[in-house]
């Protein structure tokens, strides 16, 4: 997986999404990759990384994501619940 990340960069990618980081109803049978995975991705590439998967609007979770090195997070399911 990690060799592809440098390939994406060489093809012109300006950011990456990495996930799924937390448990999510979108992928109930697939275990999350977790914060260690996110940290590894952030250390391998020199472009911004955004966490995705099971992200909620919680300060603690966003802080964990940023501590792992991600620039930010993508929130989908949490926002779909309110629309």
**Residue numbers annotated as active site:** 20
What tokens does 7 get?
């390939």
Distance in angstroms (rounded) separating the CA atoms of residues 55 and 73:
7
Q: DSSP 3-state assignment of 72?
A: strand
What tokens does 6 get?
């440098």
């Amino acid at each position: 997986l990690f060799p592809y990340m440098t390939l994406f960069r060489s093809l012109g990618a300006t950011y990456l999404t990495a996930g799924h980081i937390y448990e999510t109803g979108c992928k109930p049978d697939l275990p999350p990759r977790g914060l260690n995975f996110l940290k590894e991705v952030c250390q391998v590439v020199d472009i911004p990384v955004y966490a995705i998967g099971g992200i909620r609007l919680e300060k603690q979770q966003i802080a964990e994501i940023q501590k792992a090195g991600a620039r930010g997070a993508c929130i989908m399911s949490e926002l779909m619940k309110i629309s």
